[in-house]
A = this chain, B = another copy of it.
């Protein structure tokens, strides 16, 4: 794997786990097994340009992963539960989540960097659009699908936050169990 790709993949995980500011440049480079020269060669804009690249890359991998799961399941409900199941698996195995989310980045960058916020918004929109399409298949109206896809995205991200605070996967499990109740009402 070439240096640039390796940097993006490694940095993405670190940023997802701990946020932007909390990950120092030297630590980042050590984890990527590379140097500042390589960083500023591939990303003249430095750390922030790398972050944007990570978010764009995340957009692709996330889309691919989620769509893959969604294609295996018949209903939106089952599909969402499958996605949450993957998060729980990661959480129970590694004690942390380095996929499917980027809340650490959103909260600290939204006030600081316009491009970063845009990239995060695009990411959320992409996820919601996948949910949205599946909901339409399930017979939801366009308006309903919009509301529900947003609601699903929010509760998953919020659930992850609770998991981090509790250092446990129980909140996400609870949310996963509540979702069927929620979906059948519409």
Contact = CB atoms under 8 A, between A and B. Distances in A.
A181 B175 contact: no
- Copies assembled: 2
B167 A161 contact: no
Contacts of A106: 161, 164-165
B103 A107 contact: yes
A124 to B, nearest CB: 5
A166 B110 CA distance: 9
A22 B112 contact: yes
Contacts of A21: 19, 21-22, 108
A18 interface: yes
30 contacts: A18-B108, A18-B112, A19-B19, A19-B108, A21-B21, A22-B112, A103-B103, A104-B108, A106-B161, A106-B165, A107-B107, A111-B164, A117-B167, A121-B165, A121-B166, A121-B167, A123-B165, A147-B174, A151-B155, A151-B178, A153-B158, A154-B155, A154-B157, A154-B159, A155-B155, A155-B158, A157-B158, A157-B162, A158-B161, A161-B161
Interface of A: 17-19, 21-22, 96, 103-104, 106-108, 110-112, 117, 120-121, 123-124, 146-148, 150-151, 153-159, 161-162, 164-167, 171, 174-175, 177-178, 181-182, 184-186
Given A147-B177, A154-B162, A182-B182, 19 more contacts: A17-B111, A22-B108, A22-B112, A104-B107, A106-B164, A107-B164, A117-B165, A121-B166, A124-B165, A146-B174, A148-B178, A150-B159, A150-B174, A151-B155, A154-B156, A154-B171, A157-B158, A158-B161, A181-B186
